[in-house]
Protein backbone atom coordinates (compact mmCIF):
# COMPACT_ATOMS: atom_id res chain seq x y z
CA UNK A 1 0.00 0.00 0.00
CA UNK A 2 1.18 3.48 -0.84
CA UNK A 3 1.84 5.68 2.22
CA UNK A 4 -0.71 8.36 1.32
CA UNK A 5 -3.42 5.76 0.79
CA UNK A 6 -2.73 4.44 4.30
CA UNK A 7 -2.73 7.95 5.74
CA UNK A 8 -5.98 8.96 4.06
CA UNK A 9 -7.94 5.72 4.45
CA UNK A 10 -7.04 4.52 7.94
CA UNK A 11 -10.05 4.71 10.26
CA UNK A 12 -10.73 3.38 13.74
CA UNK A 13 -12.08 -0.17 13.49
CA UNK A 14 -13.91 -1.62 16.49
CA UNK A 15 -15.40 -4.87 15.15
CA UNK A 16 -13.24 -7.81 14.15
CA UNK A 17 -13.50 -11.17 12.41
CA UNK A 18 -13.04 -14.35 14.40
CA UNK A 19 -9.58 -14.90 12.98
CA UNK A 20 -6.21 -14.89 14.74
CA UNK A 21 -3.49 -12.44 13.74
CA UNK A 22 -0.28 -14.35 12.90
CA UNK A 23 2.77 -13.64 15.07
CA UNK A 24 4.81 -12.50 12.06
CA UNK A 25 2.17 -9.87 11.29
CA UNK A 26 2.32 -8.68 14.92
CA UNK A 27 6.12 -8.47 14.68
CA UNK A 28 5.94 -6.42 11.50
CA UNK A 29 3.54 -3.99 13.19
CA UNK A 30 5.81 -3.71 16.23
CA UNK A 31 8.80 -3.19 13.95
CA UNK A 32 7.00 -0.23 12.38
CA UNK A 33 6.17 1.18 15.83
CA UNK A 34 9.84 1.00 16.85
CA UNK A 35 10.87 3.07 13.81
CA UNK A 36 9.21 6.19 15.23
CA UNK A 37 11.35 9.18 16.12
CA UNK A 38 11.94 9.86 19.81
CA UNK A 39 13.48 12.67 21.83
CA UNK A 40 17.25 12.11 21.89
CA UNK A 41 16.52 8.85 20.02
CA UNK A 42 15.83 7.33 23.46
CA UNK A 43 13.25 4.77 22.19
CA UNK A 44 11.71 4.30 25.62
CA UNK A 45 8.81 2.22 24.32
CA UNK A 46 7.69 -1.21 25.43
CA UNK A 47 4.79 -3.24 24.08
CA UNK A 48 2.62 -5.75 25.89
CA UNK A 49 1.15 -8.08 23.30
CA UNK A 50 -2.05 -9.92 24.19
CA UNK A 51 -3.00 -12.42 21.50
CA UNK A 52 -5.15 -15.02 23.22
CA UNK A 53 -8.85 -14.25 23.19
CA UNK A 54 -9.44 -14.90 26.87
CA UNK A 55 -6.56 -12.57 27.75
CA UNK A 56 -7.86 -9.87 25.38
CA UNK A 57 -11.26 -10.06 26.98
CA UNK A 58 -9.58 -9.77 30.39
CA UNK A 59 -8.21 -6.42 29.13
CA UNK A 60 -11.79 -5.43 28.34
CA UNK A 61 -12.84 -6.34 31.87
CA UNK A 62 -9.95 -4.39 33.41
CA UNK A 63 -10.48 -1.19 31.40
CA UNK A 64 -14.08 -0.08 31.48
CA UNK A 65 -13.76 1.97 28.27
CA UNK A 66 -12.06 -0.80 26.23
CA UNK A 67 -15.33 -1.98 24.67
CA UNK A 68 -13.76 -3.19 21.37
CA UNK A 69 -11.52 -5.62 23.31
CA UNK A 70 -14.53 -7.69 24.31
CA UNK A 71 -14.42 -9.69 21.10
CA UNK A 72 -10.99 -9.04 19.59
CA UNK A 73 -8.10 -11.37 18.74
CA UNK A 74 -5.31 -8.93 19.63
CA UNK A 75 -4.48 -6.03 21.91
CA UNK A 76 -1.20 -4.20 22.33
CA UNK A 77 -0.51 -1.96 25.32
CA UNK A 78 1.98 0.78 24.45
CA UNK A 79 4.11 1.81 27.44
CA UNK A 80 7.25 3.79 28.17
CA UNK A 81 10.13 2.92 30.46
CA UNK A 82 10.62 6.49 31.65
CA UNK A 83 14.00 5.60 33.23
CA UNK A 84 15.34 5.46 29.65
CA UNK A 85 14.38 9.07 28.87
CA UNK A 86 17.11 11.49 27.85
CA UNK A 87 14.72 14.43 28.00
CA UNK A 88 12.13 13.94 30.74
CA UNK A 89 8.45 14.08 29.86
CA UNK A 90 8.81 13.41 26.18
CA UNK A 91 7.74 9.79 26.53
CA UNK A 92 4.08 10.47 25.68
CA UNK A 93 5.10 12.19 22.44
CA UNK A 94 7.49 9.41 21.44
CA UNK A 95 5.01 6.67 22.26
CA UNK A 96 2.19 8.51 20.45
CA UNK A 97 4.35 8.66 17.31
CA UNK A 98 5.07 4.94 17.72
CA UNK A 99 1.36 4.25 18.14
CA UNK A 100 0.55 6.15 14.95
CA UNK A 101 3.13 4.05 13.07
CA UNK A 102 1.56 0.96 14.60
CA UNK A 103 -1.94 1.97 13.41
CA UNK A 104 -0.74 2.77 9.89
CA UNK A 105 1.17 -0.51 9.69
CA UNK A 106 -1.89 -2.45 10.88
CA UNK A 107 -4.01 -0.79 8.20
CA UNK A 108 -1.37 -1.51 5.57
CA UNK A 109 -1.45 -5.21 6.49
CA UNK A 110 -5.22 -5.43 6.16
CA UNK A 111 -6.00 -5.17 9.86
CA UNK A 112 -8.31 -2.76 11.59
CA UNK A 113 -7.38 -1.10 14.87
CA UNK A 114 -8.45 1.47 17.41
CA UNK A 115 -6.38 3.57 19.84
CA UNK A 116 -7.86 3.42 23.30
CA UNK A 117 -6.38 6.16 25.46
CA UNK A 118 -5.03 5.31 28.89
CA UNK A 119 -2.80 8.31 29.65
CA UNK A 120 -3.57 11.09 30.71
CA UNK A 121 -6.61 9.72 32.53
CA UNK A 122 -5.63 8.78 36.08
CA UNK A 123 -8.23 6.07 36.64
CA UNK A 124 -7.35 4.33 33.36
CA UNK A 125 -3.62 4.55 34.12
CA UNK A 126 -4.24 2.94 37.52
CA UNK A 127 -6.41 0.20 35.99
CA UNK A 128 -3.86 -0.55 33.25
CA UNK A 129 -1.03 -0.60 35.79
CA UNK A 130 -2.92 -3.12 37.91
CA UNK A 131 -4.00 -5.36 35.07
CA UNK A 132 -0.69 -5.52 33.20
CA UNK A 133 1.46 -5.47 36.38
CA UNK A 134 3.29 -2.38 35.14
CA UNK A 135 6.09 -1.21 37.46
CA UNK A 136 6.32 2.36 38.76
CA UNK A 137 9.01 3.59 36.35
CA UNK A 138 6.88 2.52 33.39
CA UNK A 139 3.96 4.57 32.07
CA UNK A 140 1.14 3.13 30.00
CA UNK A 141 0.03 5.40 27.11
CA UNK A 142 -2.73 3.44 25.41
CA UNK A 143 -4.09 0.08 24.42
CA UNK A 144 -4.51 -0.61 20.72
CA UNK A 145 -7.14 -3.23 19.91
CA UNK A 146 -6.72 -4.98 16.56
CA UNK A 147 -8.07 -7.67 14.30
CA UNK A 148 -9.14 -8.38 10.76
CA UNK A 149 -12.00 -5.93 10.20
CA UNK A 150 -15.63 -7.00 10.39
CA UNK A 151 -16.88 -3.51 9.62
CA UNK A 152 -16.14 -1.04 6.87
CA UNK A 153 -15.65 2.57 7.83
CA UNK A 154 -15.45 4.86 4.80
CA UNK A 155 -12.57 7.30 4.60
CA UNK A 156 -13.31 10.79 5.73
CA UNK A 157 -12.03 14.09 4.35
CA UNK A 158 -10.73 15.95 7.39
CA UNK A 159 -8.89 18.74 5.60
CA UNK A 160 -9.86 22.02 7.24
CA UNK A 161 -8.17 25.11 5.80
CA UNK A 162 -9.26 27.17 8.81
CA UNK A 163 -6.71 25.25 10.90
CA UNK A 164 -3.83 26.55 8.80
CA UNK A 165 -2.27 29.88 9.69
CA UNK A 166 0.33 31.53 7.47
CA UNK A 167 3.39 32.97 9.18
CA UNK A 168 1.65 34.06 12.38
CA UNK A 169 -1.52 33.06 14.22
Interacting residues toward other proteins by CB under 8 A: 1-8, 10, 12, 27-28, 30-32, 34-37, 39, 43, 45-52, 55, 79, 87, 89-90, 92-93, 96-97, 99-101, 103-105, 108, 115, 117, 119-121, 132-135, 138, 141-142, 158-160, 163-169
Q: What are phi and psi of 13, to 5 degrees?
A: -115, 130
Least separation in angstroms between CB 22 and other proteins: 15
CA end-to-end span of the chain: 36
Nearer to other proteins, 19 or 137 (CB): 137
Taking the complex as a whole, the smallest distance from the CB of residue 17 to other proteins amounts, in Å, to 21
Q: Which is nearer to other proteins, 39 or 150 (CB)?
A: 39
| Contact by Cβ (8 Å): 84, 44 | yes
Alpha-carbon torsion (59, 43, 30, 13), positive or negative: positive
Q: How far is the CB of 124 from other proteins (least distance, A)?
A: 11
Least distance (Å) from other proteins to the CB of residue 141?
A: 7
Q: Is-contact 147 16, C-beta < 8 A?
A: yes
Closer residue to other proteins, CB minimum distance, 70 or 117? 117
Q: Give the count of beta carbons closer than 10 Å to the beta carbon of residue 81.
A: 17
- In degrees and rounded to multiples of 5, residue 15 shows phi and psi of -125, 135
76: exposed, middle or buried (Cβ count in 10 Å: 0-12, 13-18, 19+): buried
Contact at 8 Å (CB) between 132 and 140? yes
**Shortest Cβ 149–other proteins spacing (Å):** 15
User: Which residue number, 138 or 146, has a Cβ lying nearer to other proteins?
Assistant: 138
Q: Where is 79: in which H helix or E strand?
A: strand 74-81
Amino acid sequence: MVLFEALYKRRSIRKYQDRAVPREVVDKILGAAMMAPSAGDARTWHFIVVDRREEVSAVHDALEHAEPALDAPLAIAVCSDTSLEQFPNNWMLDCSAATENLLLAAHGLGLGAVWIAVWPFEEFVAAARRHFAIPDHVQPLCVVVLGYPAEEVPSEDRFDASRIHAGRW
